Amino acid sequence: MKKLFKMKLKKYKEQIEEWPTEGYHIMAQYNENHIIVYQSYRPEIGNFAVKNQYFGGAFSLERMTWIKPNFLWMMYRNGWGTKEGQEVVLAIHLKREAFERYLEKAVWSSFNATIYESRKNWQNAVKTSSIRLQWDPDHDPYGEKVKRKAIQIGIRNDEIKRFSKEDILKIEDISTFVAEQYQHVKNKELDKLMMPEEKPYIINLSSTNNSFTV
């Protein structure tokens, strides 16, 4: 079995000097075999996932679940783990081949004429796809929008069953880490803020499907 890599941390202030400031980028921590994505849940779901190392119990296989490879995008959506029902913040180590399968099968959540030619083609693709791709403005630690776009991926139907068990290598509860770092944000001490080290994701697909490109 391939050895899992541990989450690497780096100061936020150092990372922003290296990140692209605009454009469409999948910001993530990854290597040739793994990628970390984030989700937040209420304790009933999050604690089950950490204990059992898969999603089950109260987790619904009938609803679309959204994963985010960008840490700050997750923090914007869950309020640094303070929003009701999103208290347990999970770092999910996925097989890289699974993540790229999602990208390969993804259909945009909004119409893009360059990819789908007609709105009808796009609507048909949405109906039949198990993977949804959405680009939104990325955010800084304070929740303010930046010019760079961030990605989130929605998973449903047969794909959510594969995601919940087969695609996962490890599930970590990082709620305590998130709470500690949020104190630096609230105190406006971004020089002390640590976060997962991220870089633009380089796609390595054998397919020519370009539904994820911009």
Each residue of 129-178: pLDDT tens digit? Answer: 889 899 999 999 999 999 999 999 999 999 999 999 999 999 999 999 99
Q: Is the pLDDT of residue 59 over 70?
A: yes
Going by C-alpha positions, the residue among 113, 197, 102, 111 that lies closest to residue 151 is 102
What single letter denotes the amino acid at residue 12? Y
| 55 neighbors 164 (Cβ within 8 angstroms) | yes
DSSP letter assigned to residue 177: H
CA–CA dist 108, 133 (Å, integer): 5
pLDDT per residue as tens digits for the range 91-115: 999 999 999 999 988 877 665 656 6
| 76 neighbors 83 (Cβ within 8 angstroms) | no
Helical spans, DSSP H, in 2-70: 12-15, 43-52
What is the distance, to the nearest Å, from the Cα of residue 56 to the centroid of all Cα atoms in its chain? 19
DSSP letter assigned to residue 3: P
Mean pLDDT of the chain: 89
Across 63-72, 81-90, 108-117, 121-130, least confident range: 108-117
What is the distance, to the nearest Å, from the Cα of residue 108 to the centroid of all Cα atoms in its chain? 16
pTM of the predicted model as reported, rounded to 2 decimal places = 0.89
Q: Is the pLDDT of residue 209 over 60?
A: no
Q: What's the pLDDT band for 126 if we cut at 50, 70, 90?
A: low
Phi, psi of 100 (to 5 degrees): -75, -25
Q: Is the pLDDT of residue 122 over 80?
A: no
CA–CA dist 183, 104 (Å, integer): 38
Percent of the chain at pLDDT > 70 equals 85
Per DSSP, what are the bridge partners of residue 145?
139
Choice between 70 and 118, residue whose per-residue pLDDT is larger: 70
**Residue reference for tokens 């939104």:** 136
